[in-house]
Amino acid sequence: MPLAEVSVSPEMRFPSGIGELDGVLGGGFVRGSVVLIGGEPGIGKSTLLLQAAGALGARGVPVMYVCGEESVQQVRSRADRIGASAGICLLPEVDAAVIEATVLAERPQVVVVDSVQTLFDPGLDGVPGSVGQVRATTARLVRMAKTHDITLLVVGHVTKDGTIAGPRVLEHVVDTVLYFEGDADHAFRIVRAAKNRFGSVSDIGIFEMTESGLAEVGQPSNALLAEREGGVAGSAVFATMEGSRPLLVEVQALVTPTYLQVPRRLSVGIENARMLQVLAILERRAGVALGACDVYVSVAGGVRVSEPAVDLPLALALASARKDVPLPSDAVAFGELGLTGDVRSVPHAAARLREAARMGFGRALGPRMKEPDGPKEYVVARTIAEALGAAIG
């Protein structure tokens, strides 16, 4: 077919009714598209999809919820808890052929499959959850969705090491892959798009798990900094980016004399290798002696940061903990550290500064930049030594 003769009809979108979710999707669900929602067990995948199903159902969109994992009673009691009931039909079934036949008979607009690991094709070898079964049953339902313009939402569990026959082997057959991140021990949940044929992958959705389901968190910085105590040594505020959204998080460090032959270095929420590198830079380029100390580092609120811009706030928190001198409580920081101790620029500096100003911070510390606009005072740190001089003297 000549490319030029292909007719382009704009994709037919409809919102889920949950703003944070629609944002990650690039403006809602697309008809006939397949979305995979991955995440560790217990993170909230079923809750989110049941809430979305409830919101769709309440607007008159017919939804079928295939519960392969839980009994209809369990789903009902969760639905009551989160206030979703109207317009959802439950189908307790794991046989992919029966699911397909039922969908074609009932014609819902949206089908939720919870979860892909329970699906089974009796014509194939292998137990449910094996690579062969997961691939074949999903392929069958994807074909059904494409042919009949049904929006298919598939739940897939990933384990901590991400090795099972789940979302990973399906990423290429679906249109959109969302990953649900967060720490089951903390309330915050981040939904991130790892792939999206109908939108960008830079948007994220932020939720909080509450007694009555997932609540949207419009201003995550407020919540993340709510418990911060100003004026304590070892605490720095980091202006980070989650996708295209700025976010302020607290980086904490604890430095104590060691009683071990090999000092302990432990980090939560920050990659260990990154912390070790920052420790080495501090020791060598700023003369902060840490060799005889145990070091603990964490990001408050269960957030995980992986961007290099955390280097500077991390170094400040560590030096502040080591010297037992608090950082100015109205200051935020960001910047990558080079191995020579230089502070390097990072993307989205303007957005970071705007968020800092919005949250009422009066000072920011970071790399050189043109016309910094945000908090009243912008302190340029060209090196880690300069940054320490400005922040803790």
Binding residues for Mg ion, rule: CB under 5 A, are 46
CB of 11 to ligand TYD, least distance (A): 28
- Answer for which of 76, 78, 168, 358 binds ligand TYD (CB under 6 A) is 78
Instruction: Single out the residue of 5, 185, 211, 371 in contact with ligand TYD (rule: CB under 6 A).
Output: 211
Give the side-chain half-sphere CA count within 13 A for 333.
32
Phi then psi for 358, rounded to 5 degrees? -60, -35
Site for ligand TYD contains 82 (CB under 6 A): yes
Answer yes or no whether residue 161 interacts with ligand TYD by CB under 6 A: no
Cα separation, 151 vs 13, in Å, equals 10
Q: How far is the CB of 46 from Mg ion (least distance, A)?
A: 3
Q: How far apart are CA 177 and CA 321, in angstroms?
A: 40
Identified binder of ligand TYD from the candidate list 17, 28, 36, 45, rule CB under 6 A: 45
Provide the edge-to-edge strand list for the sheet that holds 265-268: 265-268, 293-299, 245-257, 235-242, 331-333, 363-366, 377-380
Cα 188 from chain centroid? 9
Rule CB under 6 A: is residue 43 a binding residue for ligand TYD? yes
DSSP characters over 138-185: HHHHHHHHHHHT-EEEEEEE--TT--SSSHHHHTTTSSEEEEEEE-TT
Q: Which stretch binds ligand TYD (CB under 6 A): 74-82, 225-233, 260-268, 320-328?
A: 74-82
Window contacting ligand TYD (CB under 6 A); options: 41-49, 133-141, 295-303, 340-348: 41-49
Indicate the residue among 74 and 272 with the shorter CB distance to Mg ion.
Answer: 74
Cβ neighbours for 80, distance < 8 A, ≥ 6 positions apart? none
157/67 Cα distance (integer angstroms):
14
Question: Could you tell me which of 364, 392, 390 has the C-alpha nearest to residue 376?
Answer: 364
Contact call for residue 374 and ligand TYD (CB under 6 A): no
By CB under 6 A, residue 284 contacts ligand TYD: no
Q: Among Mg ion, ligand TYD, none, what does residue 241 contact (CB within 5–8 Å per kind)?
A: none
Residue 271 has, within 13 A of its CA and on its CB side, a CA count of 11
DSSP calls for 43-112: SSHHHHHHHHHHHHHHTT--EEEEESSS-HHHHHHHHHHHT--TTEEEE---BHHHHHHHHHHH--SEEE
CB of 20 to Mg ion, least distance (A): 19
Minimum distance from residue 296 beta carbon to ligand TYD (Å): 28
Q: Distance (Å, rounded) from C-alpha 282 to C-alpha 267?
A: 16
Find the shortest distance in angstroms from Cβ 214 to ligand TYD. 8
Q: How many helices (H) and strands (E) does the chain have?
A: 11, 20
Binding of ligand TYD by 46 (CB under 6 A): yes
Instruction: Examine residue 47 and tell whether it contacts ligand TYD (CB under 6 A).
Output: yes
- Per rule CB under 6 A, is residue 53 in the interface with ligand TYD? no
| C-alpha–C-alpha distance, residues 292 and 254, integer Å | 13
Strand order of the β-sheet with 204-210 is 88-91, 63-67, 110-114, 151-157, 34-39, 176-182, 188-196, 204-210, 213-216
Strand partners, 176: 35, 196
CB of 189 vs ligand TYD, minimal distance in Å: 9
CB 18 to Mg ion: min, Å: 17
How far from 29 is each of 18, 63, 139, CA to CA, in Å? 11, 13, 20
- Closest to Mg ion by CB, 158 vs 288, is 158
Q: Using CB under 6 A, which of 17, 44, 166, 366 touches ligand TYD? A: 44
Interaction partner, residue 39 (ligand TYD, Mg ion, none; CB < 5-8 Å by kind): ligand TYD
Instruction: For Mg ion, give the closer residue by CB, 46 or 235.
Output: 46
Residue from 212, 272, 340, 345 touching ligand TYD (CB under 6 A): that is: 212
* Nearer to Mg ion (CB atom), residue 37 or residue 384: 37
- 81 contributes a contact to ligand TYD by CB under 6 A: yes
Q: Which is nearer to ligand TYD, 158 or 249 (CB)?
A: 158
| 166 is an interface residue for ligand TYD by CB under 6 A | no
Based on CB atoms, which residue is closest to ligand TYD, 17 or 182? 182
Residues that bind ligand TYD (CB under 6 A): 39, 41-47, 78, 81-82, 209, 211-213
